[in-house]
């Protein structure tokens, strides 16, 4: 089996698949070579072992702790990656992964007092880091708050019994769950909150709420992770973007990234890491002014030809794309 795309050189075999909740599965993978990664990082996966579609998924396992490399995935209806991985991929199949990526990790965090907050599938890097902290920094004071829709939606339910955790269920809360959503009162109940490093992962509105609340309560060290950004409504004004192939015009609000504008207008574009690292959203700009915050993976020749990473490109004028 040949490598489908240079960005995903690691071939791994599905050893077994575990259903975590009604719509979440964990794929346990065997890599026959040493695969270096850090707790909390993610990897790109070649969907259907093709070069056309890459998706980013957290490595929910923990280096030096977990027996397998794992991906924990919620099946989204119509999701090109999640439907294939959770419905079609079977034990014994092979997947192709990229190098591990991302800086949302705790192994270089100097503070021994942490608060980890997760909602839904955002728990995947949180559990990876929780295991790492238990093994490498057993004396660290680690508090965890995990928000779910219902008690049936607790990912890694059996494993959480080994760690102190506050489980918050929005619906049908039973014994052992706080009923409702994350509140200021719940955050205030965390001992010495202001002195803690806070790390969170979940839907964007959840992380925005966490950030606002904990900073108002005195937290100064705050980190968040986010992959999937819901596409905004297509803009009807702003900077005009003209795409030559296929020919069409659309608009980018001032201050948005080129990727946000393309996705909100359903212009075909690959996007995985959204952080200017993986290179999958490479796009060529023919004319116009723009600034970039990352050009990783692009050669000097490609930059000279106008190639940008759409997630890191900020239009400053009307643009023409190839």
Domains of the chain as residue ranges with CATH: 10-97 (2.40.30.10), 113-225 (3.40.50.80), 239-321 (3.10.20.30)
110 vs 112: CA distance, rounded Å: 6
CB atoms within 10 A of CB 157: 14
Query: Residue 222 pairs with which residues in a beta bridge?
Result: 198
Q: 207 versus 276: which is more confidently predicted? A: 207
Query: Residue 279 pLDDT > 90, yes or no?
Result: no
pLDDT, one tens digit per residue, over 130-140 is 999 999 999 99
pLDDT, one tens digit per residue, over 115-173 is 999 999 999 999 999 999 999 999 999 999 999 999 999 999 999 999 999 999 999 99
Provide Rg for the chain, Cα atoms: 21
Q: Which of 287, 286, 281 is nearest to 261 (CA)?
A: 281
End-to-end CA distance of the chain: 33
pLDDT, one tens digit per residue, over 74-88 is 998 888 899 999 999
Q: Which of 246, 234, 240 is nearest to 322 (CA)?
A: 246
pTM: 0.79
Q: Which residues contact 303 (CB under 8 A, 6 or more apart)?
A: 295
User: Residue 227: what pLDDT?
Assistant: 56
Band the pLDDT of 232: cuts 50, 70, 90: low
Query: Residue 304 pLDDT > 70, yes or no?
Result: yes
């Amino acid at each position: 089996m040949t490598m489908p795309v240079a960005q995903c050189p690691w071939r791994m075999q599905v050893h077994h698949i575990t259903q975590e909740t009604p719509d979440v599965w964990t794929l346990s993978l065997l890599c026959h070579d040493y695969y270096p990664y850090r707790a909390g990082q993610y990897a790109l996966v070649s969907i259907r072992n093709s070069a056309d579609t890459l998706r980013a998924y957290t490595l929910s396992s923990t280096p030096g702790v977990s027996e397998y490399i794992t991906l924990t995935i919620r099946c989204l209806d119509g999701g090109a990656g999640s439907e294939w991985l959770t419905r079609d991929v079977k034990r014994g199949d092979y997947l192709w992964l990229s190098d591990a990526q991302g800086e949302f990790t705790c192994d270089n965090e100097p503070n021994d007092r942490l608060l980890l907050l997760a909602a839904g599938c955002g728990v995947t890097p949180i559990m990876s880091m929780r295991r790492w902290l238990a093994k490498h920094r057993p004396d660290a004071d680690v508090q965890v708050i995990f928000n779910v829709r219902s008690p049936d939606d607790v990912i890694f339910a059996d494993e959480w019994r080994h760690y102190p955790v506050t489980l918050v269920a929005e619906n049908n809360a039973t014994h052992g769950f706080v009923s409702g959503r994350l509140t200021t009162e719940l955050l205030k109940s965390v001992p010495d909150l202001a002195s803690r490093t806070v790390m969170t992962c979940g839907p964007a509105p959840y992380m925005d709420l966490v950030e606002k609340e904990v900073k108002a309560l005195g937290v100064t060290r705050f980190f968040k992770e986010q992959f999937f950004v819901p596409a905004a409504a297509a803009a009807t004004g702003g900077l005009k973007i003209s795409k030559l192939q296929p020919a069409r015009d659309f608009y980018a609000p001032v201050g948005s990234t080129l990727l946000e504008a393309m996705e909100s207008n359903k212009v075909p574009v690959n996007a995985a890491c959204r952080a200017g690292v993986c290179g999958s959203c490479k796009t060529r700009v023919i004319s116009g002014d723009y600034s970039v915050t990352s050009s990783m993976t692009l050669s000097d020749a490609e930059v000279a030809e106008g190639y940008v990473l759409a997630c890191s490109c900020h239009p400053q004028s009307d643009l023409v794309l190839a």
